[in-house]
A and B are shown apart, each in its own frame.
Chain A
Amino acid sequence: MTSAQPGVQLAVSAEPSAFLAFFQQTAAIAEIELKKLIRDPTEVLARAVQPVLWIVVFGNVFSRIRAIPTGNVSYLAFMTPGILAQSVLFVAIFYGIAVIWERDLGIVHKLLVSPAQRAALVYGKATSAGFRGAVQATIIYVVAFLLHIQIRWTPLSILGVFAGAMLGSAIFATLSFIVACLVKSRERFMGVGQLMTMPLFFASNAIYPISIMPHWLRVVAYLNPLTYLVDALRTLMIGASQSSHGVLTNFGIVALIFVILAAIATKLYPSLVR
């Protein structure tokens, strides 16, 4: 038998520890997404227009009528963290389109045939969505600064808000990833994406407090991850008087939801190439 099989001997021999490989692979995916984001920031910048409009137009009008009870803070200050959470949601919820695009190009196939851990691929994508969340947070701070909106500017508060925006972005991007794995086509995805955004937005405390909602909507709001994200961001940006759960509880809930969604996405990812 002449089959010397040198290919076998040449193949990757050292199997690195799964734990270390997980971080390397996650970082590798996040790194290329960050590179692409920096090279072509058009999309992210175009996405900045919407939150600016919400604050400048909607926020200013609603401040005048004083229809929404916001305690001792102005309505503009009250809604600013809500609009940050909303813009994070709106950007991230369409992340799945990119996944379907990568499927059509064969990129997903290549990733899934590699020995990379599927969970690392999902966490890498979520991390890259986090960068987009950070861009949204930057934009909101610029708007708040220009409009002299009364928010906190302490380093700890800003750090917390960025962490929240990134985690929120990771959650909704992963949710979007799951939807992409289920629908598999861009047309269907656009429909479902539109269907998800408005209920998530309105059934939350983003632009009005939960206390003024009818009972049934409160129940929905408490099942909505956006509610906990907004509560965390609002507490960090405006103050503890605005908190219903406390920052740590909010972050805990949001992180738990992310881990669960990431596990589902990891399970569904291979179905994209079947």
Chain B
Amino acid sequence: MAAPNNHSSMSASNIAVTNSVEAQASGGETFAIETFVLTRRFGDLTAADHVTLNVPYGAIFGLLGPNGAGKTTIIKMLTTMLEPSEGTAAVAGFDIVKAPAKVRRMIGYVPQMLSADGGLTGWENLDLSAKLYSIGRSERKRRIEEALHFMGLTEFGRKLVKTYSGGMIRRLEIAQAMLHRPAVLFLDEPTIGLDPVARRSVWERLLELRRNFRMTVLITTHGMDEADELCDQLAIMHLGKVAAIGTPADLKANVGPGATLDDVFVHFSGGTIQEEGSYHDVRATRRAVSRLG
């Protein structure tokens, strides 16, 4: 585990602000991701509301919350797709507002939809990514083979992606996102619509990625099991704000003995995650699933 962990104990967002100021004051790059009052408004709606959080290098960090909590908006800002209305963030040491092109060289991204190109083979999908990241010819072949092997897809490399299962597509996308050895990997709902076996295999690969490459991973999720088993640290999102930050164990311990993450979520939002999930979740899941069949 990297960096002294300021967030191992649960802290409300105002405390997190103080922590980030300390981190700034102490200087140096202790965090893979540092956000400073990161805010995005869409008209009257504030999708991300003064979000301040720090993700240490090598951590698997989860943004947990229902749809509409602002998770995807935060990911979009951190991956330079969306400019903040207020505040900023540093990813791998580069400012997302001032140096978005530098940030893009340092990160990998797996979108929520199963977005590998079904009309191409797994190899061709990887080859495209490698070329867009300007990985040289000889290095390209080696990295593609390695990534396919790492994701357990070697024997499927020459097959069209439309013949893949959902879990295989997701693993291919992670392979795509790791080709250029990003410092930080962003995954938006990485296991949505996948069956339990496929979910577990995705988790295992992410843990292995962190172990082998000490990659920092930030995921969004509304799966309590995913948050619990995969993430070292969680930020519980509620209506665009960070309601709580901490390790899953600490978050639970603070709510009471025997508490589950569901209880933690209810404690901070006043509702269960299922109640707050919108039709959009269902639609997104169905879309993902329909691509498999």
- Report which A residues bind B (CB closer than 8 A): 1-8, 10-12, 14-16, 21, 24-25, 27-29, 32, 35-36, 39-40, 104-107, 109-116, 270, 273-274
Contact = CB atoms under 8 A, between A and B. Distances in A.
A118 to B, nearest CB: 10
24 contacts: A1-B3, A1-B28, A1-B30, A3-B2, A3-B3, A4-B2, A4-B214, A6-B213, A6-B214, A7-B215, A10-B183, A10-B213, A11-B182, A12-B134, A24-B131, A27-B131, A40-B119, A110-B109, A110-B111, A110-B115, A113-B107, A114-B132, A115-B133, A270-B81
B81 A112 contact: yes
Nearest to B129: A114
B76 interface: yes
Contact of B131 (A5, A28, A112): A28
A222 to B, nearest CB: 40
B205 interface: no
Interface of B: 1-4, 28-30, 32, 56-58, 76, 79-82, 92-93, 101, 104-107, 109, 111-115, 117, 119-120, 124, 127-129, 131-136, 176, 180-184, 213-216
Contacts of A6: 213-214
Contacts, number: 130
A114 B104 contact: yes
Given A1-B28, A3-B56, A110-B109, A116 B132 contact: yes
B176 to A, nearest CB: 8
Nearest to B181: A10
B290 to A, nearest CB: 12
B173 to A, nearest CB: 8
For the complex of A and B, list the 7 residue pairs with the smallest distance between their C-beta atoms, beginning with the closest.
A106-B111, A106-B115, A28-B131, A10-B181, A7-B183, A106-B113, A116-B132
B30 A7 contact: no
A7 B55 CA distance: 14
